[in-house]
Amino acid sequence: MRRGWRWLLLCTLLLALSGSEGRTRPLPLPTPTLSACDRFGHPPSTLADATHQPATFSTPITAKRPMYHAVHTLFLDDLTAGHATAIGFDTAVQVFPWRDLNPTPGLYTWEASDYMVRVAQEAGLHLVVRLDMPPEWARQAGAVPFDLAAYADFVTAVARRYRGAIAAYVIWNEPNLAAEWSRSGGDLEDHWRRFDGQVADPADYVGVLGVAYQRIKAQDPAVLVVTAGLAPTNENSPRARDDRDFLRGMLAAGAADCFDVLGVHAYGFGQHPEAATAVQTGLSLARIGEWQAILAEYGVDRPLWVKELGYTIGQGDQPWVTPEQQAAYLSAALDRIGRDWPSVELVTVWNLVYGRVPEDEMSGYSLLNPDGSPRPAYERLRQQLSTTNK
């Protein structure tokens, strides 16, 4: 009896198929929507597995406590690392310029980056690495002003070489400024005056972030991927987009799928960190609270890292303070961030550099004088962190 039912069912199916000519075929199943991380697909890699193998380093450091206090360096040498640890920083943030490490297609020069990784390890510092500043050969016109496939290969090569030795990678810098998106790696003041190029579309930046995220995680699954710090600004023009609007655009595009930590730039703009400046009309440290609120608005539970926090004593275009105020304000900023914004897990002081002329923008923010001697902020933070880190 069971055999008869099977035969009847088979005949019925054959009749249905033979009579289907000319009928409307069933609609295909909808193609799953790509995530924001796949906006630009998966650029093909030109890296051979036999090349760009991991470098051999000493065993990466194991922190006695989570990373919390960082300083941004411009070149991490032994002297700078010694100052960083003397103050009490546990982490260094450092740019690995694409143009220096990959000066021509297919050629990688690792001497400088190998040196900085070794310096960090010998000093007992975690190392957070920012990846931007394209070489001339990789620049191009368009919404993404650099060869994305080449950038994907660059981040792959870096993550492969330093697997296990880097704490986190930061993907690009301030894409809400035309100067940093279209002319990354040049002189900031020159960029700001000329403001040629274009601001990134938030969804395009998310697409770049997604490509980098996938490539890095394939090489070093445990490493953290951090978004580019956005430049705090209220401006909406060809040269800048309000960082709050840009962040909302990123989150609306699905950025939460392709980062571990939200990177932010929190400058005091010459004001005391406790200043009651209205954050909707002015710029102050309180911007951190707005970024935190925007994440909550989109239901995104991610920590924040302040990747740049600084006060300049350089009397130039930016609001400046005295050396004594720089010391007091940086100290008060660390206190307020720890008290008011618990989602901030890492605070990075901008910066620790020496040997530049006093008029140099970078020098104005430094904890060191051009001759390498400490400024008042150096000793103030050393005393503060020696207590905090106990």
Q: Write down the pLDDT at residue 1.
A: 40
From first to last of the 390 residues of the chain, give the pLDDT tens digit.
Answer: 433 433 333 333 333 334 434 433 443 433 334 567 888 778 878 786 545 667 767 666 554 556 799 999 999 999 999 999 999 999 999 999 999 999 999 999 999 999 999 999 999 999 999 999 999 999 999 999 999 999 999 999 999 999 999 999 999 999 999 999 987 776 656 655 665 689 999 999 999 999 999 999 999 999 999 999 999 999 999 899 999 999 999 999 999 999 999 999 999 899 999 986 544 456 889 999 999 999 999 999 999 999 999 999 998 888 999 999 999 999 999 999 999 999 999 999 999 999 999 889 899 999 999 999 999 999 999 999 998 776
Residue type, 288: I
How far apart, in whole angstroms, are the C-alpha atoms of residue 134 and residue 338? Answer: 35
The secondary structure of the chain, three-state, reads: CHHHHHHHHHHHHHHHHHCCCCCCCCCCCCCCCCCHHHCCCCCCCCCCCCCCCCCCCCCCCCCCCCCCEEEEECCCCHHHHHHHHHHCCCEEEEECCHHHHCCECCECCCHHHHHHHHHHHHHCCEEEEEECCCCHHHECCCCCCECHHHHHHHHHHHHHHCCCCCCEEEECCCCCEHHHHHCCCCCHHHHHHHCCCCCCCHHHHHHHHHHHHHHHHHHCCCCEEEECCECCCCCCECCECCHHHHHHHHHHCCHHHHCCEEEEECCCCCCCCCCCCCCCCCCCCCHHHHHHHHHHHCCCCCCEEEEEECCECCCCCCCECCHHHHHHHHHHHHHHHHHHCCCEEEEEEEEECCCCCCCCHHHHHCCECCCCCECHHHHHHHHHHHHHCC
Domain boundaries, the chain: 59-388
Kindly report, residue by residue over 83-127, the tens digit of the pLDDT: 999 999 999 999 999 999 999 999 999 999 999 999 999 999 999
Pairing label, strands 304-309, 262-265: parallel
Distance CA 41, CA 49 (A): 21
Angle at 233 between CA 231 and CA 239, to 5 degrees: 80
What is the per-residue pLDDT for 54?
Answer: 74
Total-model pTM:
0.87
Half-sphere exposure of 83 (CA within 13 A, CB side): 24
Of the candidates 55, 143, 147, the residue with the CA atom closest to the CA atom of residue 106: 147
- Could you tell me which CATH class the domain 59-388 is placed in? alpha beta
Gap between the Cα atoms of 248 and 262, Å rounded: 12
**pLDDT score at 48:** 65
Overall size of the chain counted in residues: 390
The one-letter amino acid at 162:
Y
Residue 83 and residue 377: Cα distance in Å, rounded? 12
CB-facing half-sphere around the CA of 106: CA atoms within 13 A: 2
Query: What integer pLDDT is reported at residue 18 of this predicted model?
Result: 40
Rg over CA atoms, the chain: 25
pLDDT digits (tens, 9 = 90+) for 329-380: 999 999 999 999 999 999 999 999 999 998 898 999 999 999 999 999 999 9
